[in-house]
Amino acid sequence: MAEATAAAVTVERIADHIALVTLRRPEARNAVNAAVTAGLRDAVRTIEGDPDIWAAIVTGEGGKAFSAGADLKAVSDGGMSGLVDPEWGFAAFVHASRDKVWIAAVDGAAMAGGFEIALSCDMIVASEDARFALPEVKRGLVAAAGGIYRLPRTLPRALAFELIATGEPIDAERALAFGLVNRVVPKADVLGTALDLAQQVCANAPVAVRESLKVARRAFDETDPRLGALSLAAQDVIMQTEDFAEGPRAFIEKRAPRWAGR
């Protein structure tokens, strides 16, 4: 895969079937401007359109912040138009149509829209000094990029409401205790741990993972009968793939499966 989708965002292959997306505005705490939005839009299109990529990690450069959210200077200069994709929302990411597994590797602060980017991923690996917050109410704003409904789906109701209404941060250890993040590790280990998690995912049949998460992501939006029907439909898709036969065959032959991804 070619590296670089825009100056503010890079995309690179870091392991078999795994891509790394890096926000590269450390001087601005990786705040989202028009260049980041364009870069993330291209990154999603590239990764989702490549059948050989099964998982992606998104992170921020510099170690101080995953992302501080919207670049307020850019907002002041031109409003939110360059930061919001008409279809995919803030940063062309939070509502993007994505089937692959996306893991946020959060080193440092994930604030406002930066937290909402992490919340829209499937899993989060955090550094020990990571902090997460939706401080919009402190500025007379609303966390309208998914935060005010994704957070209550992730945390206990009372805690989610506290964070939304006070705008105060939650630290990494407390986030782990309440299931907001999957791992908390030293700063030096964040990317490596995210890669390990992605490799665990990629050890499994990619179509099975994709179809399973497609249903799981809708768990809060559909009734049980509808989710049951979606699960059966997912199984029907999987049964048509080469990997459906490969899994049992590998088990019988006592070897690691060789997934084709189709």
The set of catalytic residues is 116, 136
Half-sphere exposure of 32 (CA within 13 A, CB side): 32
**Euclidean distance between the first and final Cα of the chain, in Å?**
20
| CA 38, 42, 43, 44 torsion-angle sign | positive
Residues forming a β-bridge with 102:
56
d(CA 221, CA 231): 14
DSSP SS3 for 109 = strand
Helices (H), the chain: 34-48, 72-78, 113-119, 147-154, 157-166, 172-177, 190-202, 206-216, 224-239, 242-252
Sequence-separated (6 or more) residues with CB below 8 Å from residue 59: 20, 21, 22, 23, 66, 104, 105, 106, 107, 190, 191, 194
In angstroms, rounded to a whole number, what is the distance separating the alpha carbons of residues 181 and 148? 17
261, 52 Cβ separation under 8 angstroms:
yes
Return the amino acid letter for 149: Y
